[in-house]
Amino acid sequence: MRVLTARDDALLIELDDLDQAVALYESLRAEPVRGVGVPVPGARTLLVPFRPAAITAHDLAAELRRRPLVRRAATTARTVEIPVRYDGEDLTEVAGLLGWSTEALVHRHTGAAWTVGFVGFAPGFAYLTSDDAELVVPRRPTSRVRVPAGSVALAGPYSGVYPRESPGGWQLLGRTDAPVWDVTRERPALMLPGDLVRFVAVREQAAGAAGGGPAGGHADAPQGRPGAAEGPVTRGRSGAVPDGGPAGGTGLGGGSRPGVEVVGAGVLALVQDLGRPGSEGAGVSASGALDRPSLRAANRAVGNPPDAAVVESVGGLRLRARGAQVLAVTGAVGDLVVRPGPGGAGSGGAPADRPERRPRRGEPFALDDGDELRLAPPAHGVRAYVAVRGGIAVPPVLGSRATDVLAGLGPDPVRPGDVLPVGTPQRGLPATALPATGSPATGSAAAGSPATGSAATGSAPAGRAAAGRAATGRAAIGSVEPGVLPAPGETTVLPIVLGPRDDWFGAAALDRLTGQDWLVTPRSNRVGLRLSGEPVLRSLALAGTELPSEGCVTGAIQVPPDGLPVLFLADHPLTGGYPVIGAVVSDHVALAGQLPAGARIRFVVRAARPADTVPNPAGGTP
């Protein structure tokens, strides 16, 4: 066992093989450790997030090394049957690669005992390994742009089923109607780590005759395992989602109930909250707001719980009140203007009876029925957060109202004409404005102070000076004026920790990572920031090596073969196959989410604290 740093609040445990990774996953799920989140299995690793306030990295590593790496008995595992029509585009080619007939390939694929090792790539996409050591084929040399949902495929030692249409490079053997991913079920993913899977060859009519069962899929579970949820559903972008939005709301649309109408959506406007942590075992990243401190600050200003859903806006926004509402705007805020509507209290039906207002950022303000809020694009930062007292009350998916653009979960981006329903305000939560700029409560710092690490004043470590502004960390987001947020052409210092795969790179590559200003390109989005600069190349000995898929954290700096890093944001894939050279420390991840295209980044390695040190004894774990 090797214990590697994945972030200042996450460890990557490297093991000998997939069986040991699943065994450690099962152990942590059966006997949780206080302060440890949901672990994410990989091909031979386990990503273990933790709260440093509850347990140190050193103590967690010691606890993990004490765990026996023995799988649970097969008799206690859940068994899933997948009916397959073996008519895939690559069936004949794969048989030829293996030197078998197509009939022999189908016989071997259905006769093998498959086990779910981990779930990644997409929600519900399970990586299955078998007891047939000869069922190994290479990926296709060129990925397909479109792989149909339900495709059963092989790649390397793995088999899998594509939950929804997506690009993919695996070899296609056939198709299934089994619903491997269905958010209406209590257990959305049909296959989870540790499950046993059997593929069953069927004819076309047999596979389509789902009847009252789970659309052709069958699972035998021990008593007490969650089954499929029943009841009426509302169909939407993310598939079927349980009905029962507040007061009968079914998401976005018209109607006469109170809410806020979208007049203009800017570049992109999404419903976001604090995400859906806890679903990682099913291949779902937490997602949620990129700048969580700003979301919490907006909710605090209007008296909402901190996890209430808000609108995350990029490039400006126009909202019109339907009924009286209380709002607040935080994050990257441009000019705020409230234009009176014809139906507001005391207006006499004429907008001219009331002047325009300019609310202050972070302070609650009222809108009468028909009043319009106009939010201009910001000069600094990217994302503004608009909270409405009562919260945006679209139906939740997997316990969250957040939109995950990569996984396709949650509501569609909001569009002009959409009416966002608003929930009932909770009692006992007073509205409150943000503290004044520069007060001790904000934790903000003047440019050039040690808290900012301002590159303009040379306070970054020696040799790291860079022209432009270095924005503050967590305290800056949601608590000070937007002028301290990053702007195009300015340089922001982001502290990082190295690992888990910094050993794939030589000293020259590590110097290149931290010795230049990286440009944020226009190809960046909620999945990640794509950076441009002098490439960071792997060591020659590992130049052509493939890294087995392993879990990644938000803030991870992944380096693809071209050497141009991608800094993962909230909607990143749960697992990845390119080495992660380092990660932005947890209290600066929100700042990364406010970096616009054209901004520059200077990475600075943060010195490890004694409690973060997790030495690996020579010879492995006793």
Q: How confident is the model at residue 405 (pLDDT cuts 50, 70, 90)?
A: very high
pLDDT for 206 beyond 80: no
pLDDT for 255 beyond 90: no
Section 43-60 average pLDDT: 95
H helices of 70-183, in order, are 91-98, 102-111
Contact between 479 and 435 under an 8 Å Cβ cutoff? The reply is: yes
Distance of CA 262 to the CA centre of its chain: 26
The candidate with the shortest Cα–Cα distance to 91, out of 76, 80, 107, is 107
Percent of the chain with pLDDT over 90: 62
Q: How confident is the model at residue 251 (pLDDT cuts 50, 70, 90)?
A: very low
pLDDT for 259 beyond 60: yes
> What Å distances lie between residue 282 and 70, 182, 407, 417, CA to CA?
22, 11, 12, 34
**DSSP state letter for 336:** E
- Residue written as token pair 């270095």: 470
What's the token pair of residue 370?
A: 């028909």
Section 555-561 average pLDDT: 94
pLDDT in tens, 93-131: 999 999 999 999 999 999 999 999 889 888 899 999 999
| Distance from C-alpha of 496 to C-alpha of 206, rounded to nearest angstrom | 54
pLDDT of residue 449: 31
pLDDT in tens, 476-498: 445 445 568 999 999 999 999 99
Q: Is 445 helix (H, G, I), strand (E, B) or coil?
A: coil
pLDDT in tens, 446-471: 333 323 333 333 333 333 223 333 43
* Most confident among 223-232, 249-258, 294-303 (mean pLDDT): 294-303
pLDDT for 368 beyond 90: yes
Long-range CB contacts for residues 295-300, cutoff 8 Å, separation at least 24: 295/330, 295/331, 295/385, 295/387, 295/478, 296/478, 297/330, 297/362, 297/385, 297/434, 297/478, 297/479, 298/328, 298/329, 298/330, 298/331, 298/362, 298/385, 298/386, 298/387, 298/478, 299/387, 299/391, 300/432
Section 497-502 average pLDDT: 96
Section 561-568 average pLDDT: 94
Section 35-56 average pLDDT: 94
What's the token pair of residue 346?
A: 């005391």
Q: Which of 98-112, 227-241, 262-276 has the lowest mean pLDDT?
A: 227-241
pLDDT in tens, 143-192: 888 999 999 999 989 999 999 998 888 999 999 999 999 988 888 999 98
Contact between 297 and 257 under an 8 Å Cβ cutoff? The reply is: no
The candidate with the shortest Cα–Cα distance to 191, out of 156, 213, 232, 160, is 160
pLDDT in tens, 503-536: 999 999 999 999 999 999 999 999 999 999 999 9
Higher pLDDT, 229 or 318: 318
Q: Provide the residue type at 466 as one letter.
A: A
Long-range CB contacts for residues 539-544, cutoff 8 Å, separation at least 24: 539/504, 539/505, 539/506, 539/509, 542/504
**Beta-ladder partners of 166:** 147
Q: Secondary structure of the chain: what % helix, strand, coil (to 5)?
A: 15, 30, 55
Left, alpha or beta for 253 (phi > 0: left; psi -120 to 50: alpha)?
A: left
Pairing assessment for the beta strands 151-155 and 171-175 based on DSSP bridges: antiparallel
**Beta-ladder partners of 19:** none
| Distance from C-alpha of 339 to C-alpha of 348, rounded to nearest angstrom | 15
What's the token pair of residue 327?
A: 């709002």
pLDDT for 254 beyond 70: no
Angle between helices 102-111 and 91-98 (to 10 degrees): 90
- 525-531-536 Cα angle (round to 5): 140
pLDDT of residue 464: 28
> What Å distances lie between residue 416 and 173, 260, 394, 398, CA to CA?
43, 11, 16, 26
- The alpha carbons of the chain give a radius of gyration, in whole angstroms, of 26
The candidate with the shortest Cα–Cα distance to 67, out of 35, 22, 37, is 22
Average pLDDT, the chain: 82
| Distance from C-alpha of 164 to C-alpha of 150, rounded to nearest angstrom | 7
pLDDT for 420 beyond 60: yes
Contact between 351 and 340 under an 8 Å Cβ cutoff? The reply is: yes
pLDDT of residue 154: 97
Pairing assessment for the beta strands 79-84 and 196-201 based on DSSP bridges: parallel
Classify burial at 374, counting beta carbons within 10 Å of its beta carbon; exposed 0-12, middle 13-18, buried 19 or more: middle
Contact between 140 and 159 under an 8 Å Cβ cutoff? The reply is: no
- Residue written as token pair 């325009």: 356
